[in-house]
Amino acid sequence: MHDFLSSPLIDPKTPIEQTPIVSLDLETTGLDPNKDDIVSAGLVEMQNDRIRLNSIWHQLVRLQRELPHQSVVIHNITDDQMQQGRPLAEVLPEILRRLQGKVMLVHYKSVEQNFLNAACLRLYGAPFVIQTIDTLQLGMRVFELQNHTIQPSDLRLFNLRPRYNLPLYRAHNAMIDALATAELFLALSREIAPRGNAALQNFLIR
């Protein structure tokens, strides 16, 4: 955690194409980080306006309790599969190492930010602090620029993707969702800054 927090933030004036980005997705048993658990994490790295497929990483998290039924239905991760994972105390350092010195990309920041913050406070006594891009917020910005009426469902990851003719993937798999978020970001960034050369600060959460 010390190494993670000691890494300098990326200069907000850095061109977005040159910014090292990690698209991250967490699957959880619910939405409350104080009582729910992380059950899997997936990520993929981005740089030079490219998704680095050779950097894809996915890990199940082993819990000390049975998975809630509703969680199994949504994520299709069974108790037997979950037991083949690693404890969060082993997974979290790997997540932090892969995020270190980079910008985190997510869809709906509250899940990843709040769950990682709760985990860091519980395991290390320190908060999780990182520069973040949220494709949900970028999608909202595009709708507002185009004067479109926004329905909450319009901003879901797999409802935004068809607007850009992105391929149809199965939802609620951390690795697939991380890749889907990365692809959506590339499409959104071109719509927000069609001429390119936009700075990181134009995409960070405000």
Given pLDDT bands bounded at 50, 70 and 90, which one contains residue 7?
A: very high
Cα 206 to Cα 202: distance, rounded to the nearest angstrom: 9
Which residue has tokens 């969702």? 177
Q: What integer pLDDT is reported at residue 196 of this predicted model?
A: 78
**pLDDT at 198 > cutoff 70:** yes
Residue 34 domain boundaries? 2-202
Q: What integer pLDDT is reported at residue 150 of this predicted model?
A: 84
9-13, 91-95, 170-174: which has the minimum mean pLDDT? 170-174
On whether the pTM is more than 0.75, the answer is: yes
Q: What is the CATH number of the domain that holds 33?
A: 3.30.420.10
The predicted-structure confidence for 35-64, as pLDDT tens digits, reads as follows 999 999 999 999 998 999 999 999 999 998
Side chain identity, residue 66? E
DSSP SS3 for 47? strand
Q: What integer pLDDT is reported at residue 30 of this predicted model?
A: 94
- Taking each helix axis from N to C terminus, what angle separates 135-145 and 174-192, rounded to the nearest 10 degrees? 30
Given pLDDT bands bounded at 50, 70 and 90, which one contains residue 33?
A: very high
Q: Provide the mean pLDDT of the chain.
A: 94
Q: What integer pLDDT is reported at residue 73 of this predicted model?
A: 66
The predicted-structure confidence for 164-186, as pLDDT tens digits, reads as follows 999 999 888 999 999 999 999 99
Cα 107 to Cα 93: distance, rounded to the nearest angstrom: 22
Question: Structural domain tally of the chain?
Answer: 1
Q: Which of 87, 106, 93 is nearest to 38 (CA)?
A: 87
Q: Which two tokens stand for residue 119?
A: 């985990």
